Structure 1
Amino acid sequence: MSSYTWCLYLLECKGGVMYAGITNRLAERFAAHLAGKGAKFTRANPPLRILGAKPFADRSEASRAEYAIKRLPRNRKLAFLAAAVPLCAAAA
């Protein structure tokens, strides 16, 4: 079992679009997105910054949250993360 907390993260990408994903190593995952080795979406829409991240107890919870946030309009996505810690512990 990983010692990292799983988290849902939201990226601001080129063109003002957002990308949501999950990881247990946020800093490494963001670096992969920046290097063009992340998701197909972020290869086409390079990430500019991490908008926020919200920790979850396990991958299953994070996956359910990812599914939910991807169905929200832009303003609700930001509100979803507004109360979250700035970054997950995995970024440290």
Structure 2
Amino acid sequence: MIKEYFFYVLYTADGYFYGGYSDNVYRRFLTHQAGKGAKFTRVKSRHPIRLIYFESFDNQHDALHAEAMFKKLSRVKKEAYLQSQGVDVNIWVK
């Protein structure tokens, strides 16, 4: 059985896109929701957060690479990337 790794994007209540990676995207999302995830998502003004996108990879390297590339993008390019993946960012962006 091949282990899956995920690149995921959260949308925060204060309007940020947060990219991360995990081997269990739903568990990691619940960790973020509980305020115990990354320092960035522990800020109360960022809650509630929503899981708006995730992508599966068959190895950790590719998932980490996707996360790193996403984090380097400007806000406009993050929106364009998400739209190219079928995410309607207009429902999230204020």
Superposed structure 1 runs of 4+ greater than 6 Å apart: none
**Residues 1:18 and 2:17 aligned together:** yes
Conserved 8 A contact 2:6-2:21: yes
**Residues 1:64 and 2:58 aligned together:** no
Conserved 8 A contact 1:37-1:43: yes
Q: Deviation of residue 82 (structure 1)?
A: 4.2
Measure, in 2, the Cα distance between the counterparts of 1:18 and 1:47.
13
1:89 is aligned to none
Measure, in 2, the Cα distance between the counterparts of 1:85 and 1:53.
11
Task: Select between 15-24 and 74-83 the one with higher mean Cα deviation.
Answer: 74-83
Q: Deviation of residue 80 (structure 1)?
A: 2.8
* Cα RMSD, aligned residues only: 2.1
Total equivalences in the alignment: 85
Q: Deviations 1:33-57 (Å, cap 9, x if unpaired)?
A: 0001100000013342111011112
Measure, in 2, the Cα distance between the counterparts of 1:57 and 1:77.
23
Measure, in 1, the Cα distance between the counterparts of 2:48 and 2:17.
9
Matches within 5 A, 1:9-88: 9-44=8-43, 45-82=46-83, 84=85
TM-score where L is the length of structure 1: 0.78
- Structure of higher CA gyration radius: 2
Q: CA, structure 1 residues 21+39, in 2 after alignment: closer, same or farther (shift >3 Å)?
A: same
TM-score where L is the length of structure 2: 0.76
Runs of at least 5 residues in structure 1 that lack an aligned partner in the other structure: 87-92
* Sequence identity (%): 34
Q: Deviation of residue 24 (structure 1)?
A: 1.0
